[in-house]
Amino acid sequence: MNKVISVNRSARHDYFVVEEIKCGIVLKGWEVKGLIQNGCSLKQAYVTIHDGEVYLRNLTIMPTVNTCSHIKPIPDADRKLLLTKKQIGKLIGEVQVIGNTLIPLSVERVGSLIKVNIALAKGKKNYDKRNDLKNAEWKRKQEKILKRAL
């Protein structure tokens, strides 16, 4: 049973997605509870590789009201992503190509686990974004015309 917790809506608008990868994430107890109850914000989040490990930065998780008071919750701390060495090696090689980057696409709950979908992506230029909007509008018009014809 997959339940999507949060989606990065601007990711597909700002980037061409080359490859998607589903990975685990290291979280503390209050973070899991906060994700399930309050969700999270992927708006400013990005993925980095440091010392052979992959980290998700600026993922904002708001703590719940009844979070333990002796723990200082940090809403936008760096969180480690769980990938195999083979996957990390492949990502390091791909990210070194000019124009490629790693972005988070969504956070979802798979059973009792929290998974993050990340993507290897290339940035879009403004004319690419305009072209995508034109194509989407044209598809909507086509569907409307077909609906009227039937």
- Whether the per-residue pLDDT at 55 is higher than 80: the answer is yes
Query: 3-class secondary structure for the chain?
Result: CEEEEEECCCHHHHEEEEEEEEEEECCCHHHHHHHHHHCEECCCCEEEEECCEEEEECCEECCCCCCCCCCCCCCCCCEEEECCHHHHHHHHHHHCCCCEEEEEEEEEEECCEEEEEEEEEEECCHHHHHHHHHHHHHHHHHHHHHHHHC
Q: What is the pLDDT of residue 106?
A: 93
Q: What is the pLDDT of residue 125?
A: 86
CATH topology of domain 2-124: Small Protein B; Chain: A; (2.40.280)
- Whether the per-residue pLDDT at 44 is higher than 80: the answer is yes
For residue 37, what pLDDT band results from cuts at 50, 70 and 90? Answer: confident
